[in-house]
Structure 1
Amino acid sequence: MLTLVLIQAVADPTGLLALVGWSGAIPSFDAGLWSFAPYLVFLPVLLVALWWVSARAGEWFWTLTAGIVLAVLLAQSATAFVMTWDLAAAGSAASFVAGKAIPAALIVAALTRWLGGPVSRRRLEPGPVWPPAVLFAGLAPLLAGLWWTGAAYAPGIPAARPDRGLLSVVIALALIAGATALSLRWMRSRVPGVLGGWLAALLAGGLVGLVQAVIGFAVDGGLSGDMWPLMVAYIAVADGLAFGACVGWIVGIGAVVTDRVAEGRAARAPQVAVAAVAAFALVATLVLPGGNSASAEAAPPAGMLRASASVITDGNGNQVLLRGVNVNNLVDFYQPRPDVPATTPLSEADFAGMAGYGFNVARLNISWSALEPERGTLDPAYLAQIGDAVGWAKKYGIYTVIDMHQDGWWNGPTEEGTTCRPGTETMWGYDGAPEWATITDGAPRCQFTGRDISPAGNRAFQNFYFDTNGVQTALAETWGKLAATFADEPMVAGFDLLNEPGFGETAPVTTSHQLASFYGQAIDRIRAAGAEQIMFVEPSIFWSGLGFDTGPTPGFTDDRNIVFSPHLYAESITMDRSLGIPAIVSLERQFTLGQRVAADLGAPLWSGEYGYWGEDDDVLARLVRYADAEDAHMLGSAYWVWKQACGDPQNGIQPVGNALMMQNCDGSGELPPKTELLDILSRAYPQAAPGVLTALEADGARLQLSGNTTERSCGLRLWVPGSAKPAVDVTGVTELEITSVPGGWSVTGCADGDYTVSTR
């Protein structure tokens, strides 16, 4: 096993596939224990556990395989615990490594049985199985917490979570008990003692995951054509295995105690005790608060947008849809060629142009490296540029979401003379953090398949997540200073705390637990600065690449004015497109998954980025599907991107700058806009609607919507594109006005109770 670990560490420069990866970074005690944990915790725990399972379960191939999986999961969990001192994070980390543990276990078990010589196999009496099984079902969900079942589980999949309701909890507990009893009968006839019960719990967790996957296939659109059912199956089984590995000791100890009590002719005592414990656990599971134990809703000052349950509102009883574009003109990009600018100048005319397409939000991308080139001091000239952009947007009725942008952590390229390990290659820089906040510990700036998988970038993110040299605290403090500048500006809709956070070296510890810690710290600093705008929080870069992820750990903040903001790139830049395989997550399903995670966080959903580009024949068809799904879910988003300079490293120095406003890279200036895309993006929509929307459908200037408001409101405001004055039919709406505006028409009115609006 140790040989396999060493081979993987050398062969895998990213650490994504290896049990213990080595990026080339040099561990340092100055960084903290986390940098040594993979070597000083994972390997010793793995070897001790392997010795135990080999001695007790090594006679049979399948029991040895299960034992090796258990050893790997326990080693990963112990490593994560030492890094975070958080049991839930440790349990979640164990599930993440299941995909590596199973093939490694099969290889090692096969070689062991092949080379290990003859063994003497014997069958044992399994002993009573129901008392420890019921004990496990009763106590384990309370010990496991929310990490065992996350947002990938559709409503209808049984899970022992109080927020899923009584029926779900009862069915889940019955599944756990039944699977554990079945596994105990098989495993304890082959493996004695505590280990036999523990391995039975591991197997039971996997069986429960399989049942959940089958139910998920039935209730979560298993025949929709994407690969999501396979992802659910993997996640459910991995979570189940981690569940059994981390808390299966309950079964092992319970089985041994039950055996000994039974041998003493007091066989009914354990049943009575177990029944009492199970009843207590069921009641406690239903009474204890769930993952979304939100505090009282925040109340920002009048005129500011805010999160209210599952929607964004204006504080006056109106739901607001934010639809617009990303603006990257202020990003401090790496410049591949000195003679080709990496950005285009930003001007008031840009925002006038956005308003002419009906856009009411600009996600303004900014760079930490330009904002704080020297630690502790914000650059006044750059602050002025941000202020100008906010002011221009406000002049044209456009909200701003200020986004701390990064791609690949910072804008440094591969240094000259760097030797990239096999499988990686030299890379450009991109954008993000200043040099003083970039700590790579000697890991090479090389990329594997793309900018977001780089030993140096991963190490820099790892140091950020664990606050090495206070860099995470520094960004939180910077957010406080920046937010204070715009604390009184209601047209700043909010702050997007970190664009597409990288996964570091120890996901999901980094991508859930540590990311949540940063978000909590940044929110505290912003609120302390007096800024009450919305906090936009993103999941890790995994969401952009896979179409799903867990998101920050629920409950990371008591602040309710937050919005969950993944980038909905399914069937666009997700890895299935580059691999030529069926969609992992369909374009339509991504909205449902996003809302599922948002619900766990008690927040609305808003997509900070999406887009479809290139010469593929189906680009427009995919954008139409996105628009239809966005309308069906009554959501907003920001398209990537308004303009893209010819020297932008993301553009790759192409003949044109590939954005909505096209740039000719031969020096002759701007090309005509992408009208075929803009026709879809500028379709009619409600910028604000009294109460809540209940249905929405649009195509160009044609719009149909319905809504409901409990109090009369005159906040109805629609955008309708085109030069021809629209015909408008309404029910429940009075004081209707249709006003010509640049690029189209503004339709306003007052609504009370149920109402409908249609335009043509």
Structure 2
Amino acid sequence: MRGLRRPIVAVVAACVLIVLQAVADPTGLLALVGWPGGGLQAALVWPLAPYAVFIPVLLGVVWWSAVRAGERFWTMFAGVVLAVLLAQAATAFVMVLDAATAAWAAGYVTAKALPAAAIVAAATRWLGGRTSRPTFERGSVWPAAIAFGALAPIAAGSWWTGAAYAPMVPAPRPEGGLLAMIVAVALMIGAAWLSLRWMRTRVPGVLGAWLGVLVGGALFGIAQAIIGVVVDDGLAGDLWPLMAAYVHVADGLSFAAFLGWVPAVVAVVVDRVRRARSVAEAAPDASPRRSWSLAAIAVAVAVVAALIVTPVAVAGGGVSEARAAAQVEASRTIPEGFLRADGERITDGEGHDVLLRGVNVNQLVDFYQPRAEVPATRPLTEDDFAGMAEYGFDVVRLGISWSALEPTRGELDAGYLERIDQAVEWAKGHGIRTVIDLHQDGWSNAATPEGTVCRPGTDPMWGYDGAPEWATITDGAPRCAFTGRDISPAGDRAFQHFWFDTDGIQTALVRTWGELAARYADEPAVAGFDLMNEPGFGETAPVTTSLLLGRYYDRAIRAIREAGAPQIVFIEPSILWSGLGFDSGPSLAFTDDANIVFSPHLYAESITMDHSLGLPTIVGTARQLDLAARVADEYGVPLWSGEYGYWGDEASIAEHIGRYADAEDAHLLGSAYWVWKQSCGDPQNGIGDVGLGLVPEDCATGEDGARNEPLLAALSRAYPQASPGRLTGLRAEGAALAMTGTVDGATCGLDVWIPGEEEPDPQTEGLTKVVVREVDGGWRVTACAEGDYALTTG
């Protein structure tokens, strides 16, 4: 019984922790195994997996770790971390049947695994009985370390991609370049060698070597983080170095947890071979043939198993290059006049870069109405588009609601479609393109029902906007907010059902996208389709926010193309990007479609979690554009900021808008500011004296309020709406502009917006046929270009 005490204590401690976390966590997002409330649909696999898979795997590995590694706190700590990661990987695999995603996604429970490991390891150490702390022969180290490093380029899978990986941070992905891969593999081998030397003297057998490479994976992530501080402007006044370090360590841990058994088997086999050799040398008459045969078989089995179980193909490898080639081919089939993705830029198909700069319009969104006497939206009229054109805007991101578009399943509302048609026509009439955005916030406009008792830590909430009632499946989970509109048990469960297509609700939206796209397939004034605003993460991020989000996007894109619509499709990462300033996003190769644009919302220093919780800045204003551009480059597509702004009062806006504008110009980036008009009755506006927006509403009178002229001056600053060839440089403030570009051959496509009443006197190089003409709100400068060219005003 004495030998069972320690593992029993460890398992009981883990069980108690699971129960306490489930009780204490009102959403289920922060616990190892959450219970957000409501019921479970027993016929579905994914709701049961956290209980039927995660808990048994966790407790099984905790028991094994307590038996083999429980003599010491730190070895037991590593064992519990391994248990949590393996349990999460197994759970995710059962849910989605994708080994690569399941293994990679396991690393993102590191924030849960580390405190859980400390608690269980401490209980095991203090209550598990006497310890003798034995030491063991170290055995072989180099073979296992080399095997660990060698596996990385072969089975890179989803690891070592995303915003955290600056170009000079070494990562063992072949597409990152030979030198970077060699350096990364060398670092992995060195980290594994150090940790194996320490761990193998304390924990014997396969588990000791597995835990050794697990610690080595964490050390490799730390090494990457240190390099990142140097090469990624790490000390820029925000918490990004810590966020990047977390991603690096999470990737290293998950890779080692999933594949660490392979170098562990190598280590054990090499030890046995060496012992057999020693026996043979001590007794020459003994034959080592049997030991050598077993060793060869063991190594072969390990290698074959690794190739079967692990993602040997490099997921996402060479994606940007392949997509660039596909863009060239796709551009030949896109009709004249339609915008398209061309490398890192949006172009018009006639040899001109196009900058889409404008504003969001929410006046067609089907919002929850918190005050019966105050409308949730302001009327949308042609005057709105005339006003946008006077500020030089050339695009609107037009929010529409699934609940209004398809209130009855399978039937698109004809009246609502006509309102969308009218908005597109008004915009077109004023030289403005439209991005049709399927908008949602908090999943739907359902509020907390009366009489609901919210668990401690959550509060009753308003509804917002999004899905129709027939597509909202919550299983009775409470509609109670945790830190804001985007985290509630009901909303998370509804998103989870959508990602797993329960009752075909995702299939229904895919079909709806096909019908909507067919309506505008011949309309070049529709710049593109934004498939979902700030998608929620459900209950199992990043599986939902990477694999399943990508699957939905791919299905919707295929429906749009089958409907004959050639327009750009704008893809967003999940709401986590808006909340943190970065996110994992859909896997790099989620679609083979080339006409797509990466469109995160750049709310750093605005409505991100740090700002709302009073924490230091996670990602700064300038850095967020760098991170977004880095991810767009990995996809091999252009970047466009679908939303930004919302900095609060005028003083805060004044502090931020100049820095944002400078960074936007430096990146040659287009965007849509949030928002043109926001009603006093909009749930996102709250209850105040003013309805926020570029054109605010005086809540006392219902009329337009005073406008923030400094903000509007920054948003309406000069910029080239179309640039021949490639735009290579841009800097602007008000009517003062300095831009450069280059074009092969000659073209007359330069079209520049200049605000203000004073006629500009452009100074040019490489430009001919320069024409300055007055338009409402400012001036348009057009010209022909050949070779390198430049234009300055002011």
Per-residue displacement from partner, 1:139-170 (whole Å, max 9, x unpaired)? Answer: 23422413244331101110011221000100
User: 1:287 and 1:93, CA in 2 relative to 1: closer, same or farther beyond 3 A?
Assistant: closer
Instruction: Give the 5 Å matches for 1:263-342.
Output: 263-265=275-277, 289-292=317-320, 293-294=322-323, 296-297=326-327, 298-299=330-331, 300-342=334-376
Displacement after TM superposition at 1:86 (Å): 0.6
Partner of 2:81: 69
Aligned: 1:615 with 2:649: yes
Equivalent residue for 1:165, pick from 172, 177, 189? 177
**214-223 vs 652-661, which deviates more?**
652-661
Aligned: 1:34 with 2:42: no
Partner of 1:22: 35
Aligned: 1:11 with 2:45: no
Displacement after TM superposition at 1:243 (Å): 1.1
Equivalent residue for 1:89, pick from 64, 80, 101? 101
Equivalent residue for 2:197, pick from 159, 180, 185? 185
- 8 Å CA contact 1:146–1:161 kept in 2: the answer is no
- 8 Å CA contact 1:328–1:366 kept in 2: the answer is yes
Amino acid at match of 1:400: T
Q: Distance in 2 between matches of 1:44 and 1:285?
A: 30
SS at match of 1:83: helix
Partner of 2:11: none
- 8 Å CA contact 1:144–1:247 kept in 2: the answer is no
User: 1:173 and 1:69, CA in 2 relative to 1: closer, same or farther beyond 3 A?
Assistant: same
Q: Which residues of structure 1 form unaligned runs of 5+?
A: none
User: 1:107 and 1:182, CA in 2 relative to 1: closer, same or farther beyond 3 A?
Assistant: same
Q: Which residues of structure 2 form unaligned runs of 5+?
A: 1-13, 278-287
- 8 Å CA contact 2:148–2:189 kept in 1: the answer is yes
Q: Distance in 1 between matches of 2:693 and 2:170?
A: 45
Instruction: Give the 5 Å matches for 1:179-578.
Output: 179-265=191-277, 289-292=317-320, 293-294=322-323, 296-297=326-327, 298-299=330-331, 300-578=334-612
Partner of 2:694: 660
- 8 Å CA contact 2:156–2:172 kept in 1: the answer is no
Q: Distance in 1 between matches of 2:591 and 2:474?
A: 29
Q: Distance in 2 between matches of 1:471 and 1:437?
A: 6
Equivalent residue for 1:136, pick from 139, 143, 148? 148
- 8 Å CA contact 1:208–1:240 kept in 2: the answer is yes
Amino acid at match of 2:622: E
SS at match of 2:739: strand
TM-score by length of 1: 0.97
Equivalent residue for 2:123, pick from 92, 107, 111? 111
Amino acid at match of 2:135: R
User: 1:158 and 1:596, CA in 2 relative to 1: closer, same or farther beyond 3 A?
Assistant: same
SS at match of 2:656: helix
Aligned: 1:730 with 2:742: no
Q: Distance in 2 between matches of 1:696 and 1:612?
A: 25
Q: Distance in 1 between matches of 2:574 and 2:499?
A: 12
SS at match of 2:164: coil
Displacement after TM superposition at 1:183 (Å): 1.4
Partner of 1:715: 749
Per-residue displacement from partner, 1:389-413 (whole Å, max 9, x unpaired)? Answer: 0000000110000000000000010
Q: Distance in 1 between matches of 2:431 and 2:576?
A: 34
Per-residue displacement from partner, 1:491-524 (whole Å, max 9, x unpaired)? Answer: 1000000000011000001111110110000000
Partner of 2:619: 585
SS at match of 2:398: strand
Aligned: 1:753 with 2:765: no
Q: Distance in 2 between matches of 1:587 and 1:6?
A: 40
Amino acid at match of 1:54: A
TM-score by length of 2: 0.93
Q: Distance in 1 between matches of 2:315 and 2:468?
A: 48
Partner of 2:4: none
Per-residue displacement from partner, 1:227-268 (whole Å, max 9, x unpaired)? Answer: 101111111111111111111011111111111122222899
Displacement after TM superposition at 1:27 (Å): 1.3
Amino acid at match of 2:40: P
- 8 Å CA contact 2:480–2:489 kept in 1: the answer is yes
Q: Distance in 2 between matches of 1:614 and 1:144?
A: 43
Root-mean-square deviation (Å): 2.0
Aligned: 1:674 with 2:702: no
SS at match of 1:754: strand
SS at match of 1:15: coil
Equivalent residue for 1:740, pick from 774, 778, 794? 774
SS at match of 2:450: coil
Per-residue displacement from partner, 1:45-95 (whole Å, max 9, x unpaired)? Answer: 111111111111111111000000000000000000111111121122211
Instruction: Give the 5 Å matches for 1:591-630.
Output: 591-615=625-649, 617-630=651-664
SS at match of 1:752: strand
- 8 Å CA contact 2:424–2:434 kept in 1: the answer is yes
**454-463 vs 10-19, which deviates more?**
10-19
Per-residue displacement from partner, 1:448-504 (whole Å, max 9, x unpaired)? Answer: 111101000000000000001111111111111001000000010000000000110
- 8 Å CA contact 1:89–1:147 kept in 2: the answer is no
SS at match of 1:630: helix
Amino acid at match of 2:736: R
Partner of 1:646: 680
Q: Distance in 1 between matches of 2:419 and 2:680?
A: 21
Q: Distance in 2 between matches of 1:171 and 1:630?
A: 34
User: 1:473 and 1:733, CA in 2 relative to 1: closer, same or farther beyond 3 A?
Assistant: same
Q: Distance in 1 between matches of 2:544 and 2:36?
A: 16
**299-308 vs 667-676, which deviates more?**
667-676
- 8 Å CA contact 1:162–1:285 kept in 2: the answer is no
Partner of 2:10: none
Give the ranges of 4+ consecutive aligned residues of structure 1 lying more than 3 Å apart after TM superposition. Answer: 148-151, 266-271, 284-293
SS at match of 1:147: coil
Aligned: 1:122 with 2:134: yes
Equivalent residue for 1:102, pick from 114, 135, 144? 114
Q: Distance in 2 between matches of 1:692 and 1:384?
A: 38
Q: Distance in 2 between matches of 1:687 and 1:349?
A: 22
Aligned: 1:53 with 2:83: no
Q: Distance in 2 between matches of 1:516 and 1:702?
A: 42
Amino acid at match of 1:139: L
Per-residue displacement from partner, 1:86-107 (whole Å, max 9, x unpaired)? Answer: 1121122211101110111011
Displacement after TM superposition at 1:640 (Å): 0.5
Q: Distance in 2 between matches of 1:48 and 1:287?
A: 31
Amino acid at match of 1:481: E
